[in-house]
Amino acid sequence: MKTDKIGIIGLGLIGGSLAKALKNRIGVKEIAAFNRNEDVLKAAYDKGVIDLYSTEIDETFCGCDIIFICTPVKHIAAYAEKLAPFVDKNCIITDVGSTKGRLYDRIKPLEDKFLYIGGHPMTGSEKSRYTFSKEHLFENAYYILSPAENVSEETVIFFKEMISKIGAIPVIVSPYEHDHIVASISHVPHIIASALCNNVKKLDSDKAYMHTLAAGGFKDITRIASSSADMWESICFENRDEILDALSSLEDVIGELKKSLTSDNNNAVHSYFNDAHVYRDSFSNITPGNFVKRYEISVDVLDRPGSIAIITVLLSSNNINIANMSIVNNRERENGVLNISFDSEEQRQKSIKLLREMNYEIYVKN
């Protein structure tokens, strides 16, 4: 299997980032791109990110080993159908859509035309244009893969390895299970962020105090409400049933809180926040679950300007790559406030030795 020529349909944030990652990290010889806006294609071509382009689905994509469809979900199946006459049956057609079930049902009749592996990189930004694309967008991000039933294990392994080379963490999930999962952890949170914004807009007075005073917490929790309305309209209808189920469950959770407040049930209200607190803190480990091995330490550092920079410079000057890093915002149940992970035990042990020589207190995380 080869990656000599790769096609990208839709050169926005994800498509542009894929092109940059494939070119610079894998060394793909030829990248062909389609986009409705020719200015974007010319900009990418002039920078050497892509090698040929078209504003139509045509012979430009003949001979592609893999084609990524990076468009809104509602258009993916149509583009796959348009590509079918220009690819052979061993070409891998994949996508980056955040719903998979209905999409798989639409593409299944075409499975004799190409090899379909559904994809969903769990990364991105509220800024969706090519201008914001970056080679490292996929680093340490989960990348869900949902292969069609007729795709061989050998092909899936090949594609997983390629996704790993761009820095992502591939996870195999069936298309229908995927939609059940992301409805709760991705789709409904976007709906809630928009609901919070719409609610403040509704409740604010003519003096617009709410708009003026909305700061840190509100802006953090509603950041994703700035995402593309076209994209989220498409996602909501593509995954409607799973989203409706998740919203019904959320209504029950909020309904219980309303009951507790109405009945002055202090214990229940405390439990509501404490249960969420404990569960949210269980996400703090920066190791990506069971899908990849990371070697971690926690460093006790003072909350002073430049303290983290000193550590990162020390490690980088000794050729130690930091695979991931996170800051713990409280010391209540954590040893140390700076979590660092490495790709190997050798790198971890080297870091421990260097940091202890500098009198840092180190905690090894198993």
294-312 confidence digits (pLDDT tens): 788 988 887 678 888 999 9
Computed over its alpha carbons, how large is the radius of gyration of the chain?
23
Give residue-wise pLDDT tens across range 50-89: 999 999 999 999 999 999 999 989 899 999 999 999 999 9
- The neighbour count for residue 250, using CB atoms within 10 Å, is 14
Are both 161 and 119 inside the same structural domain? yes
- What's the pLDDT score for residue 215? 73
Q: Dump the DSSP string for 269-336.
A: HHHHHHHHHHHHHTT---S-TTTS--EEEEEE--S-TTHHHHHHHHHHHTT----EEEE-S--SS-S-
In-domain check, residue 289: no
CATH code of the domain containing 127: 3.40.50.720
Residues 163 and 252 in one domain: no
pLDDT of residue 234: 86
Of 128, 153, 173, the residue at which a domain comes to its end is 173
Task: Give the pLDDT score at 331.
Answer: 44
pLDDT at 292: 59
How much is the pTM? 0.75
pLDDT number for residue 140? 79
Question: Is residue 234 within 8 Å of residue 72, measured between CB atoms?
Answer: yes
Residue 257's contacts (CB-CB under 8 Å, 6 or more residues apart) are 269, 272
What pairs with residue 146 in β-bridges? 118
The range of the structural domain enclosing residue 360 comes to 295-365
Q: Which pLDDT belongs to residue 4?
A: 93
Based on the fold, state whether residues 216 and 155 are members of the same structural domain.
no
Segments of the chain with pLDDT less than 70: 125-128, 284-293, 303, 328-336, 366
Q: Looking at residue 81, what is its pLDDT? A: 97
